[in-house]
Amino acid sequence: MTSTKPILYGAPYSVYVRAVRLAFAEKGIDYDLVPVDIFAQEGVPPEHLKRHPFGRIPAFQHGDIALYESSAILQYVDEVFDGPALQPDAPADRAHMSQVISVLNNYVYKTLVWGLFVPGVQLPNIGFDADRDKINAVLPQAKTCVAALNDLVTDRGWLGTPALSLADLLAAPMLSLFMVTPQSKSMMLDNVALHAWWKQICERPSLQATRPEFDPPLPERPC
């Protein structure tokens, strides 16, 4: 239990910022989201580089505790604030949760967000041509990512664990962007467990409450 209001520095479009916002929403914790423009023409604001030496978002402050790196922030938020636990107790379940988080950070973000969504949807959305070569080059790795996540869905329907965990909350914002790419349709048909996970998590109020708006708007999407 803690009374100081936490501060999250970042922008709603960021998948990593959204993961932390999802954790706050699932736990029912109030926080301030302080905007940071890391893509500003003048570069990353100097005050943000003091919070995050690599100039990424999110950064986090809670009283005297300052953190960057979403996995650390998520763990702190879950353990310090009231609300439903977002990490399992059993060692094997915790290890599986960490495994999923590692897969997301090391392969899925790069491939599905930067390899498919950005060149195939986001850049065309603001007037650039889709980069077909880049997209075609990442397709094999994208299929591996989707199949690996599919295999990590447990028989309870969550990623790596018996109940909703931080792994699901980090995966959902990444998959939300992947799901607007044309390539997602056929890949999801082949990976039914992941598709069922996606439909289940999309219905949660936390996903609806943190849905980012893009300008111009992205193609219609459920969450």
Ligand X SMILES: N[C@@H](CCC(=O)N[C@@H](CS)C(=O)NCC(=O)O)C(=O)O
- Give contact residues for ligand X (rule: CB under 6 A): 14-16, 38, 56-57, 69-71
Q: Is the peptide bond before 216 cis (omega within 30 degrees of 0)?
A: yes
Q: Burial, 47: exposed, middle or buried (Cβ in 10 Å; 0-12, 13-18, 19+)? A: exposed
Rank residues 15 and 179 by Cβ distance to ligand X and give the closer one. Answer: 15
The beta strands (E) that lie in the chain are given as: 7-10, 32-35, 59-62, 65-68
Structure tokens at 211: 């849905």
Rank residues 10 and 120 by Cβ distance to ligand X and give the closer one. Answer: 10
Rank residues 25 and 57 by Cβ distance to ligand X and give the closer one. Answer: 57
H/E segment holding residue 15: helix 15-27
Q: Which amino acid is at 127?
A: G
Rank residues 13 and 202 by Cβ distance to ligand X and give the closer one. Answer: 13
Name the maximum alpha-carbon separation found in the chain: 51
Rank residues 168 and 195 by Cβ distance to ligand X and give the closer one. Answer: 168
Of the candidates 58, 52, 56, the residue with the CA atom closest to the CA atom of residue 210: 58
Nearest residue to ligand X on Cβ basis = 56
Structure tokens at 110: 């790069």
Of the candidates 23, 22, 164, the residue with the CA atom closest to the CA atom of residue 100: 164
| Alpha helices (runs of H) in 62-129, residue ranges in sequence order | 70-80, 91-103, 123-125
State the nearest-atom distance from the C-beta of 16 to ligand X, in Å. 4
How far from 10 is each of 4, 18, 61, CA to CA, in Å? 19, 9, 12
Rank residues 13 and 83 by Cβ distance to ligand X and give the closer one. Answer: 13
